[in-house]
Amino acid sequence: MSTNEGKFSGKVALVTGASRGIGAEIAQKLAAGGADFIGVHYANNRDAALKVVDDIKALGSKAVALEAELTKGISGVKKLWAAFEDAVRLELGTVHLDILVNNAGISPVFPFEETSIETVEDTINVNFKAPYFITQAASPFLRDGGRIINISTGFTRVAAPMNTIYSASKGAIETLTLALAPHFASKGITVNAVAPGVTATDMNKDMRATPEGRAEAAAFSAFSRVGTTEDVADIVVFVASEEARWITGQVIDASGGSRL
Ligand SMILES: NC(=O)c1ccc[n+]([C@@H]2O[C@H](COP(=O)([O-])OP(=O)(O)OC[C@H]3O[C@@H](n4cnc5c(N)ncnc54)[C@H](OP(=O)(O)O)[C@@H]3O)[C@@H](O)[C@H]2O)c1
């Protein structure tokens, strides 16, 4: 856990996909930095999300778990945003947001010829449409100096033939990041993407289940190891901080120098 106590005092944050993995680490680090209120979004793992909420509360921040399945398109986004608005209003008496982390993602692994229309639609819904419309919903409530951080992947830079729709969905979010940066700049709000490499989470646990798979995963990075959620979350938390106010419209590599 980082010790950036106070860096995020008074800040209101929403982290999607915060029940597990990278999102849970980001939410906890924002709390460790003194964030006032954190929305912990999840899809199915209610118990895991509630544990993250408890951990955040133990650090002295307010938090709420927000359930929304995002494969179903705009209905999930509307549900999530309505629940977030209600929760913030209840806790703070007014609705505003300082840090939006669009982190929830799915990563189907199929050869190109076997990638179905359902897989394409689900992946685009969760990885691209949801961040697009969550950001649109959040826009009127984002305070000056806010942060929008989209979690991408190193697979936009390195060819991943088994992850075609995943890579393409993240390419779209990187392009959106660039396009939105000038739009939000008048309020001092930065819009950036952070691109992890192989990071030890459930997303790639099958790959890491064998010694060969673990070696392959570690070999991506110049440091010859798999990234940790802390490795990535530390970078996200930096981008979320006041110190990163002069970075916008960028994709920040968080892959430990993968495939340099
Ligand atoms: N891990 C890596 O190696 C890696 C590498 C590059 C980029 N990334 C990116 O980093 C982000 C976080 O990945 P991670 O590895 O931490 O993932 P993870 O451990 O698999 O966790 C995924 C999170 O997203 C939520 N989620 C999954 N499916 C969803 C759906 N259909 N609708 C709404 N929410 C859903 C999950 O909620 P539930 O717990 O309720 O299911 C969970 O909170 C993703 O955008 C991913 O693409 C990861």
> Which domains are present in the chain?
12-254 (3.40.50.720)
Q: How far apart are CA 83 and CA 103, in angstroms?
A: 18
Distance 179 CA to ligand 1 centre (A): 24
Instruction: Look at the alpha carbons of 173, 174, 180, 186 in this order and tell me if their dihedral is positive or negative.
Output: positive
Distance 86 CA to ligand 1 centre (A): 24
Partners of 151 in beta bridges: 194
Catalytic annotation, residues: 166
pLDDT at 4 over 70: no
pLDDT grade for 66, boundaries at 50, 70 and 90:
very high
Q: Which protein residues touch ligand 1 with a CB less than 6 Å away?
A: 17-23, 42-45, 48, 69-71, 103-107, 126, 151, 153, 196, 198-199, 201-204
pLDDT at 244 over 90: yes
Residues 6 or more apart whose CB falls under 8 angstroms from that of 197 comprise 153, 154, 220, 221, 227, 254, 255, 256, 258
Question: Which atom of ligand 1 is nearest the CA belonging to 23?
Answer: 16
Distance 136 CA to ligand 1 centre (A): 21
Q: How far apart are CA 210 and CA 118, in angstroms?
A: 29
Strand intervals (E) in 117-225: 142-151, 190-196
Query: What average pLDDT does range 92-103 have in this prediction?
Result: 98
